[in-house]
Structure 1
Amino acid sequence: MFVLPAFIMYVTFLVIPMLQGSYYSFTNWDGLNKHYTFVGLENFIEAIRDDANFRTSILFTAKYVLFAVVFQNAIALLLALMIESQSKGKGWLRTIFFMPSMLSIIISTFMWVFVFTKVMPALSKYAVLKFLDISWLGDPNISFYTIMLVSIWGGIGTLMIIYMSAIQGIPMHLKEAAIIDGAKPHHMLRFITLPLIAHALTICIFLTLNNSFKVYDLIYALTGGGPARATQVISMNILEEAYQRNFRYGYASAKAIILFLIILVITLIQVSVMKKREVEA
């Protein structure tokens, strides 16, 4: 009975819309008209074979996911190891690096837009900082790395806390035994720490994969998908198809199903592979 209210909300706002979207993906519904026809797999075929913008957004999303998963987890793990190795100031360091994760994504992103559009040009006026005088958000060759910078800054805090919790859970007698046996720090990391925090790696990579594939607000606030769709992710392409330009709700639903299947397959593979590498202490 205690779970029932949450279950009703879950079914009403997630399960039912997902099932409706799955049905509409096989129709040509525009999202407004009561009348629509069943078109079978035409929407899926068009999205995969004929929609160049959708394919471009998939490639950009894949690039973003790869960089986000690797760098967010690597930096978060490095920070967790560094902070846990300190004898003093752990609380302050933990708070400082976790603070960006406490901010709203939209608010923090607008802060970064101000930095890139106002602060950087002001700093570039000084002769020593001329290298800052670039189009951080308007240059297709630079905007991706700008997005990654903001993504890493805002995403590592939560992952760092998970890694720190896993490191703190490693039994002390294993560390002491390794030290007595003459293990060096890199041996401790390779043979003790990493195997025993494999469950945290599984969780953090799973979270990063899901969040990266579904990213929208961060990129929308930074670049709006521009310049010239150069930073448009799948979620932005779907929203544009359904509500902003073409009003092809059925076609957009088909794209959403494709995105769902991509996330499902990749996360299932990731979890199944990494679960086999986990070690019980």
Structure 2
Amino acid sequence: MLNRSRKASVSLILFVAPAFALYVIFLVIPMIQGSYFSFTNWDGLNKSYSFIGIHNFVEAIRDDANFRTAILFTAKYVVVAVILQNTIALLLALLIESQRRAKGMFRTIFFMPNMLSIIISTFMWVFVFSKVMPALSKFAALKFLGISWLGDPDVSFWTILLVSVWGGVGTLMLIYMSAIQGIPQPLKEAAIIDGASSFHMFRYITLPLIAHALTICIFLTLNSSFKVYDLIFALTGGGPARATQVITMNILEEAYQRNYRYGYASAKAIILFLIILVITMIQVSVMKKREVEA
């Protein structure tokens, strides 16, 4: 019996070791190095650098107007994206689960955008907004389609959200559908017999019993929205005039594209990490308490 348990432990270690090694090499070690360099003035190229304490953090928070603008835009994007993606995904899940036929077809249709590469699908949308929409505005007499979808700061925010929702709803929808399918059927039937309306069914039965799915989906959308880069880079490049620049783009610009201040960019990355850590911890703890209450 003891030999079997040892063999099981060895097998487990052998299976986990490669993934753990990759995790340490590509995540843990770079994070430790980045944390160290955030207290230096290293430019990412030369071997010589100096330890400057918390100067990078003070400069980023107090003196960097572009970084503050990127934080505000990212916060605005995160709030609206999380609400829209989860609301639409939940509505789609409820609508599809209420259908008796063609559930598989609808699941496939709404999940298809997730099967495409973000860059490829985003370039497709760039073509739509820059070529197709202006053509429709001319030939179909739909003048409102001729607006600057990617060049107007006010419009480009909603354009980014449209593409974000289109590409992110599918996965969330499947999670919500799985949670809805796990609700006991006798409970639904009892509520119907008692005369519960559709709204009361959703409010007092469906919503409390899918609270765990809400926690997961909001956590996923918070995490991905804070770290968004490729979608906005491919759509607007952070423009016009930095109006759609998110924190990740500001960090990479600081480190590699313009200023080559790797230590300063590392400090900004640490600030982003702390923001995500605090917000996700609060979100998970609050929603876990609601799960227990439900």
Same fold (TM over 0.5): yes
Name the CA distance, whole Å, in 2 between partners of 1:84 and 1:56.
42
CA distance in 1, matches of 2:259, 2:136: 42
Q: Which residue of 1 aligns with 2:282?
A: 269
Correspondence 1:157-168 to 2 at 5 A:
157-168=170-181
User: Which residue in the other structure is 2:259 paired with?
Assistant: 246
- Does the residue aligned with 2:291 lie in a helix, a strand or coil? coil
1:56 aligns with 2:65: no
Does 1:122 pair with 2:140?
Answer: no
Out of 234, 237, 261, the position equivalent to 1:224 is: 237
* Corresponding residue number in structure 2 for 1:237: 250
Structure 1 residues 279 and 165 mapped into 2: Cα distance closer, same or farther (>3 Å)? farther
Note the aligned Cα RMSD (angstroms). 1.0
Q: CA separation in 2, counterparts of 1:58 and 1:188?
A: 39
In structure 2, the CA distance between the partners of 1:82 and 1:279, relative to structure 1 (3 Å rule), is farther
Task: Give 3-state SS (helix, strand or coil) of 1:3's partner.
Answer: helix
Matched, 1:93 2:129: no
When Rg is computed on C-alpha atoms for both structures, the one with the higher figure is 2
For the Cα contact (< 8 Å) 1:196–1:279, is it kept in 2?
Answer: no
Structure 2 matches for 1:120-159, cutoff 5 A? Answer: 120-126=133-139, 128-159=141-172
**Do 1:239 and 1:252's aligned partners in 2 also have CA atoms closer than 8 Å?**
yes
- Which residue, 25, 30, 39 being the options, matches 1:26? 39
In the alignment, which residue of structure 1 is the partner of 2:225? Answer: 212
Say which of 4, 11, 16 aligns to 2:29.
Answer: 16
Candidates 189, 194, 209, aligned match of 1:176: 189
CA distance in 2 between partners of 1:127 and 1:111 (Å): 21
**Which residues of structure 2 form unaligned runs of 5+?**
1-13
- Give yes or no for contact 1:196–1:280 (8 Å, CA) kept in 2: no
Contact 1:68–1:152 (CA under 8 A) maintained in structure 2: yes
Secondary structure class of the residue paired with 1:225: coil
**Could you give the per-residue CA deviations for residues 163-205 of structure 1, whole angstroms, max 9, x where no partner exists?**
0000000011111111111111111000000000000000000
Deviations 1:247-274 (A, max 9, x none): 0000000000000000000000000000
Alpha-carbon deviation of 1:127?
5.1
Distance in 2 between residues matched to 1:279 and 1:91, nearest whole Å: 32
SS at match of 1:128: coil
Q: How much has 1:126 moved relative to structure 2?
A: 2.8
Taking the aligned partners of 1:249 and 1:55, their CA distance within structure 2 comes to 18
**Cα separation, 1, equivalents of 2:190 and 2:31:** 52
Deviation at 1:280, TM superposition (A): 8.8
Write the distance in 1 (CA, Å) between the matches of 2:209 and 2:111: 23
* 2:78 equivalent in structure 1: 65
Number of corresponding residues: 281
**Which of 167, 190, 200 lines up with 2:203 in the alignment?**
190
- For 1:216 and 1:170, the matched residues in 2 are separated by 37
What's the CA shift for 1:130?
A: 1.1
Question: Per-residue displacement from partner, 1:186-234 (whole Å, max 9, x unpaired)?
Answer: 1100000000000000000000000000000000000000000000000
Unaligned residue ranges in structure 1 (runs of 5+): none
**What is the distance in 1 between the residues matched to 2:123 and 2:182?**
37
Identity %: 83
What amino acid sits opposite 1:50 in the alignment? D
Secondary structure, in 3 states, of the residue corresponding to 1:124?
helix
